Structures are given as structure tokens and as C-alpha cells.
Amino acid sequence: MPVPHRMPPNVPAPAGRVRRRAVLVGGAVAAACGVAMARQAPLLLRFSHVVAPDTPKGQMALRLQALLHERSGGRIRVEIYPDSQLWGDDDEMEALRLGAVEMLAPSLSKFGMAGVPEFEVFDLPFLFRDLAQVRRVTQGRVGRELLERLGRQQMVGLGFLDNGFKQMSAHRPLRRPADFAGLRVRVQASQVLGAQMRALGARPVVLPFGETQRALATGVVDAAENPLSNYLTQQLAPLQPHVTLTQHGYLGYAVVTHPRWWEHLGRADRALVRQALDEALQHGNRLAAGLDQAALASLRTQPGVQVHMLGATNRDALRQAVQPVVEQFRRGVGPELLDAVHGAIGDAA
Ligand code: LMR
């Protein structure tokens, strides 16, 4: 079994308003389970993720920690390991299977390689126009059915979380397909994302998120696609001063746990964790668009960073260039699923 390479101290629960509200909202659940909880053993929930605390995922995990602390009277302890400190992209799902972590929120792009290729539907370029469209899929029947499919790979899917739309960064603006020619672009381990970069004439290089910054610094790769909160918090600006607002694809997460741990919890604790997580996800989803806007505003003031808009003509040219990828992967993600996604969005397939 792999050994965690770094064990940071617990991230403290936020105080004040969150705490008071958590007490109120959690009152009913806590009252129902209170007597039983007092007699129950302490419970540890290790939550490992690869991004910074100041992102939708980081903030969602902190809210979960605060809610469970309050509602269990400190009995349920959530230890959060951000920034790939405990597990990274290469080993986090294996760690979950082995019981070396209890909860993860990998990006949807990472479930294809984990044996659930349907999740790569979210990677299809230019599929969603905005987060409202994404939510019609993730928060409805299609989303529920997708979460159930994670059971095939020994995961319990607990909910979806947004980050936002990906933008391109490089040492030059990337407005037109020709601008991508020959660039080595870091991508997540998703077949769709690889094909998308090849369609643009670039060379996709699959790398764990935690290795991306170093790969950009050392010239192993030349460009990357990230939502702005990740670009900002990974300090990519000095390495990749040109950000082109391509908005070409969505990046979101599914929170997962292992069925063994989930079943072992018992009914009362499962309800407690479920309720707290639902609220934490709502919190993260409420924050997502704001963090994206805040990251953009911050980047616009950073010396050296140049933010490039994409006009309608260039956007159409990029969309045309990657359109074959949608056809290519229709079968891979499942034609019925793709039709159901279009149906939920309200588009004709
Ligand atoms: C990535 O690898 O680029 C993202 O999945 C990182 C994240 O979790 O937002």
C-alpha cells in the first residue's frame, strides 16, 4: 500500500457565522441522532484533494468539516488534505479502494480512466454554454444515473460540484486553431481531452495536476487548460502570462466514497454526513461562479498577465476544429447518454 508522503495538520473549522448557521440548520438532525451519537465512537473522515483551499472544492471541503464538527459535537473529525498533500491524481482512487482515505472529489475527467467512460461526456468541447446548463444535467435525472454508475468501480457517488469553464494559458495568445500548432499541452487523463488537443494540432501530455506547475516551469509542457481559480491558485501566471478566455470546456467534480466505509457508518452517521455534504456542495456550487469572476479580476491586475478575449469568429473556428471529437466520442460516452445530456440542456442533439 502506498504511504502518504506528507501529513499536514488539520485545517481548522471556520468560526462565527458558518458555525452559528450550522448549529441552526443541523439542529433537527442532531436532535434526532443526539443521544445515540453521544455514545458512538469518534469517526475520522479523511478528505483528500489536489487543489488549493481557496477554490470551490477547497471551500466545499472546509464547509463539510465545519458542519460535521458542529453537528456531531466534535465526534466526527474531517481531516482535509489539499494540494495533493496526501494523495494525487495517480493514486487517490486506489487509496480510496484500500481504505487509506475516505472521501475524494476528482474532476469528472478522471473517472473515464477509472472505468466509467460515460463521465467523459463532460469533457466534450463546447458542450455547455454556462453553469446553468451544466446544472440541468448534474442536478437532475442524468446526474443521478451517472452517480449510480460509479458503483461499477466500487465508488459511491455522493454529488456534483462545479468549478467552472476552462481557459487556455501559454506564453502566447491562443485564439485560433493555428495558434495551437505543435504546442505541448498538459491535459488530464481523459481520452476526450487528448483528442481535443490533437484536433487543434497540439500535442496532449497527460500529467497529474500536482505536477503541472513544475512541468510548465521546466518546459516539459508549453500550455495548459484550467478554470481561472486553479490557474490563479497554482501560481501559473508567472509561467504562463497569456490567458485566452476560450471557455471551451467544463471542469467539475463528483464527490465519492467507498461502499465499505459508507455502509460501515451506520444509518444515523450516514444521514448526518449526507446532509452535511449536500449543504457543503450547495455552498461550493454557490461560490463557484464568484470565485471564477474574482480570479479574473485579480489576474487583470497582475503585472505581466495578459487576458485575451475570444471574438465570435475565433470561437467558431475553434469550435469547428474540435467538432470531429464530438462525433468520435459519441459511441464512447454512449449515444443515449449524449442525447439525454442534450435533452436536459434543452438543445437538439
Ligand atoms: C486538473 O487536474 O486539472 C483538475 O482536475 C484539478 C482539480 O481538481 O480541479
φ, ψ of residue 161 to 5 degrees: the values are -135, 140
Pocket test for ligand 1, best of 91, 107, 162, 188 (most atoms within 8 A of CB): 107
CA distance 338 to 330: 7
Instruction: Judge contact between 187 and 204, C-beta under 8 A.
Output: yes
List the grid coordinates of 57: 472544492
Residue 230 CA to ligand 1 centre (angstroms): 8
pLDDT at 41: 87
Q: Does the Cβ of 22 fall within 6 Å of ligand 1?
A: no
pLDDT at 115: 96
pLDDT at 267: 95
pLDDT at 240: 96
Look up residue 74 and give its DSSP letter.
T
pLDDT at 38: 46
* Global pTM value: 0.88
Neighbour count for residue 336 (Cβ, 10 Å): 9
Work out the burial of residue 42: count CB atoms within 10 Å of its CB; fewer than 13 is exposed, 13-18 middle, 19 or more buried: exposed
pLDDT at 39: 57
For the chain, the straight-line distance linking the first and the last C-alpha, in angstroms and rounded, comes to 45
Which residue in 99, 148, 44 sits closest to 260, CA to CA? 99
Residue 190 CA to ligand 1 centre (angstroms): 12
Pocket test for ligand 1, best of 93, 120, 209 (most atoms within 8 A of CB): 209
pLDDT at 31: 43
Residues of the chain with pLDDT under 50: 1-38, 348-349
CA distance 56 to 284: 5
Residue 40 CA to ligand 1 centre (angstroms): 36
| Nearest atom in ligand 1 to 107's CA | 5
| Nearest atom in ligand 1 to 208's CA | 2
Please name the helix (run of DSSP H) or strand (run of DSSP E) that holds residue 66, with its range, or none: helix 56-71
Which residue in 205, 198, 202, 192 sits closest to 327, CA to CA? 192
Residue 287 CA to ligand 1 centre (angstroms): 17
pLDDT at 3: 35
pLDDT at 231: 98
For the chain, what is the radius of gyration of the CA atoms? 20
Q: Does the Cβ of 60 fall within 6 Å of ligand 1?
A: no
| Nearest atom in ligand 1 to 226's CA | 3
Pocket test for ligand 1, best of 49, 51, 84, 91 (most atoms within 8 A of CB): 51
